[in-house]
Structure 1
Amino acid sequence: MNGSWQLAFAVLGLALPGIAALWEFVLVGRKRLGYRVQMDTTARDERALPYAGVLQQMQRTNGGPLRDPSFVLLRIENSGWAPIVENSYLAPDRGHAGIQVKCRGRRVVGMVVTELSRNELRGFFTPSSDDQHPTPHVPGLGVTDGVIELPKVKLNRGDHYKVLAVLEREESFTDEEFPEPEVVASIVGGVRRGKIKKTEYYPFASKPVRWVLALLVMVSAVQSILTFTRHDATAAPLDCATGTLTLSGSTAFAPVLQEAAKQYHRTCPDAFIPITNDTFHGSVSGLDALAAAGRKAKPTGSQGLGDRLAFSDGPKSDGRPQLLPRPVALSLFALVVNKDAGVQDLSLKQIRNIYAGTITNWSQVKGNNVPIHLVSRNPGSGTRTTLEHQVLDNKPLLAVTANDCTALDVNKPGRCEVSDTETLLNTVASTPGALGHSEVGAATAHDDVQQIRIDGYPATLEGADEGAYPYWQTEYAYTYGEPPANSLAAGFLRYLANEVGKDIIRSHGNRPCAELAKPLLCRPS
């Protein structure tokens, strides 16, 4: 469907609410007299019950009991926005009644006004000296030939009154159920010939307006279908950029970036962010690759690279002045052990002694009698650097005892290194007594390893915020120089900071920097 049809539906979608409001509040709502039958019930044999109270005392004027008594509570209201005055009623000027209520099959025994929205309305129910047929003991109400007559009451917008009528069955009426009361009245200048309308079924809006609202929903649905089925270039959001973006860096943050890249491509079909098994090799490796690409491209002036980003667990080291940081998320990391170690909680002191080599068997920390095998990431890993700085008090790791983790001696302690998070988790799961480190999202998804609490605290954002959990780090995105505002690198960074990007970051156990008290620092409060 072409653009003219889309424009037509958009205009129709804007016009329909205006038409509905005009109809309801200017045309239909101009002057409207309404009624509600709020009660229509029979008493029948209830008057014989011991708790019947006043029902036992109700009798005809001749002293006999009521025949199949019933009660009708009627509410008369001004349901429009214009006032209704005495001259508004379409009835003879000298006539007493403005509204008639017919209750077929029943005779009226008595009536009373039970509620007035304003006390000033009470005067309309007081008979005048020339009233030809007032009902005794019920001022202002009348009954003629079995028909209840209600006076011409002035009603401002929202005004109402209620009348309760007591009735009994006529001898000639043999039907089981009584018909619903019939209310007859008309006003001058009202819609639909000014007839009184029953309002209890649509107090919010009249039936025509509800049809208009239903049509509006249909128009909105068609617009949505048109939006989601378009495949031309104009369907992309204004912030979409085109081209190819190369990502590198942290393997811990890689799952977030993989999902974000996939979602961004769905939103912006002309943007390509290829990710393979060789895309991420660690924080330092990613920064080196970004710096090398910048030196090769030699961007001039203030413009930086618009087609490359590197992600690092923590800030860069000195020596790369062209790389500019942008905090993206607060990332959580966790220590993980092979399940046969028999431990779930370690104190910070015990962890430091394990990595220092003074604790070499899990039995020394109340675990099983299994040698401890340390599985670590290669140098340059942000997860490893954070472990050394924030958990081990800046102490370096022990020397590697096996270049290949499969060559570790199961009967004595040792340490080996791997290149990425997935390999580390698989190695810990398959190596008896192994202890390693990983970002929380990947560790949680791996069923064959056990996460370690530190001093009783699990790896949670709340624990990091309170300063109780120490193993966390700020995730940075690095650019080479300042990328052009319309570049794919800049667009992807904005995407990570908007609602969809933040949802993806949260889903992997991290916290978007924008949600912290100081987003530019992106550290626990």
Structure 2
Amino acid sequence: MHKHLLKRILFPLLFVLLFLTGCRNNNSSKITIVGSSAMQLLAEQAGNDYRLAHPNSNIVVQGGGSGTGLSQVQAGAVEIGTSDVYAETQKGIDAKKLQNYPIAVVGIVPIANKNVGVKNLSMKQLSDIFTGKITNWKQVGGKDENITVINRSKGSGTRTTFEDIVLKNKKAVKSQEQDSNGTVKKIVSSTPGTISYISLPYANDKHIQKLSIDHVQATNKNITTNKWQLWSYEHMYTKGKPNQATTKFIKYMLGKKVQEDLVPEIGYLSINDMKVVRDSNNRVSTIRKN
């Protein structure tokens, strides 16, 4: 009688324990990636391809900006935080507690409404526009039309990179702010006199005018040598050593399929193609090949 009673108690308990273990294993295979809108396109496509090859994986990709990605991964709320900027450069982020995986390189390009009559700006002119010194397109050889600046949102890694390289610690003019490449592109294409900047993979659109800087075109080839200076790394950060599922996915991101096929297909640059390296202080040096 005691044996029967014991079985009636133990079997349900065993079933519950097995169920909970299974749930825990399933949850551990979920990878949430949050952060850079510039990297969102690459992470989403890579995540979709990875899921097809690994049916038990569960990869969720969200934007929100580099600042959000870094703060979320530091808090342990997500497995991976993506960022266009080094964690060391962000206030409130303890980079020593994070592990950095540079995945790709992306260009940033200034864009203008097609009808402004300008295709090239000097770096100084670009800086003067975004600091409010130049306010009309005729001042840079274009139409007699007021310039409307659309900036990226605070916390955007694309904005941080743009301001570090172009403005060099000067204060940006007060303007409308947007955090999405797609939204910025739509506003610039439809609003007379507008100027902004977006990630290069989003810029292949006949409805906007890509601007060259000092007569240098925004191309991946020019980025590899820093001839085109507006570019940033696409980082994946984890809090300390990642779990097994996350480690496998990052290894996949750094592997041949993503680096040689998907990265260039979307318009990014493989980190293996770069002839220069940039540190967290924006110092650029040539990569020495053995």
TM range (shorter): 0.7 to 0.9
In 1, Cα distance between equivalents of 2:122 and 2:159: 19
Report the counterpart of residue 201 of structure 2 in structure 1.
Answer: 441
Q: Provide the C-alpha distance between the structure 1 equivalents of 2:49 and 2:124, rounded to a whole number of angstroms.
A: 43
Give, in angstroms, the shift of residue 242 of structure 1.
7.1
TM-score, normalised by the number of residues in structure 1:
0.46
Q: Which amino acid aligns with 2:106?
A: S
Find the counterpart in structure 1 of residue 187 from structure 2: 427
Secondary structure of the residue that 1:330 maps to in structure 2? strand
Aligned-residue offset at 1:474: 1.4
Q: Identify which of 79, 82, 98 aligns with 1:311.
A: 82
| Distance in 1, Cα, partners of 2:154 & 2:133 | 23
2: CA distance between counterparts of 1:340 and 1:518? 36
Residue-by-residue CA offset, 1:300-351 (whole Å, 9 max, x unaligned):
xxxxxxx611110020125323222111112111001011111111111111
CA distances 1:50-92 after superposition (whole Å, capped 9, x unpaired) = xxxxxxxxxxxxxxxxxxxxxxxxxxxxxxxxxxxxxxxxxxx
Matched, 1:459 2:218: yes
Deviation at residue 244 of structure 1 after TM alignment:
1.0
Tell me the CA shift for residue 517 of structure 1.
5.2
Q: 2:52 aligned with 1:266, yes or no? A: yes
Matched, 1:286 2:69: yes
Given the alignment of the two structures, is residue 245 of structure 1 paired with residue 31 of structure 2, yes or no? yes
Q: Equivalents in 1 of 2:255, 2:217: separation in Å? A: 29
Cα distance in 2 between the residues matched to 1:455 and 1:524: 21
Asked which structure has the greater CA Rg, the reply is 1
Residue type of the alignment partner of 1:389? D
RMSD across aligned C-alpha pairs, in angstroms? 2.2
The amino acid across from 1:281 in the alignment is: G
In structure 1, give the amino acid aligned to 2:35. G
Shift of 1:248: 0.5
Write out per-residue CA displacement over residues 426-466 of structure 1, whole angstroms, 9 at most, x where no aligned residue.
1111111110111000111x331111001111111222233
Q: Which residue of 2 aligns with 1:514?
A: 272
1:271 partner letter: S
1:371 and 2:154 equivalent? no
Separation of aligned partners in 2, 1:393 and 1:308: 33
Deviation at 1:508, TM superposition (A): 2.3
2:137 is aligned with 1:362: yes
Question: What residue in structure 2 maps to residue 27 of structure 1?
Answer: none
Please tell me whether the aligned partners of residues 105 and 270 of structure 2 are also in contact (alpha carbons under 8 angstroms): yes
Q: Show the 5 A alignment for 1:317-396.
A: 317-318=90-91, 319-320=93-94, 321-396=96-171
1:500 and 2:257 matched: yes
Matched to 1:500, the amino acid is K
Distance 2:170 2:278 in 1: 28
What residue identity is the alignment partner of 2:176?
C
Structure 2 counterparts to residues 208-227 of structure 1, below 5 A: none
Please tell me whether the aligned partners of residues 465 and 524 of structure 1 are also in contact (alpha carbons under 8 angstroms).
Answer: no
Which residue is equivalent to 1:224?
none
Q: Answer yes or no: is the 8 Å Cα contact 2:35–2:69 preserved in 1.
A: yes
CA deviation after TM superposition for structure 1 residue 519, in Å: 7.6
CA distance in 2: counterparts of 1:365 and 1:518, whole angstroms: 32
Gaps in structure 1 of 5+ consecutive residues: 1-240, 295-306, 400-414
The amino acid across from 1:262 in the alignment is N
Report 1 or 2 for greater relative contact order, CA contacts < 8 Å, sequence distance ≥ 6. Answer: 2
Contact preservation (8 Å) 1:242, 1:272: no
Deviation at 1:515, TM superposition (A): 3.4
Output the amino acid matched with 1:284. G
8 Å contact from structure 1 (residues 467, 524) kept in 2: no
Query: What's the offset of the Cα at 1:520?
Result: 9.8
Percent identity over the alignment is 29
Residues 250, 283 of structure 1: 8 Å contact kept: yes
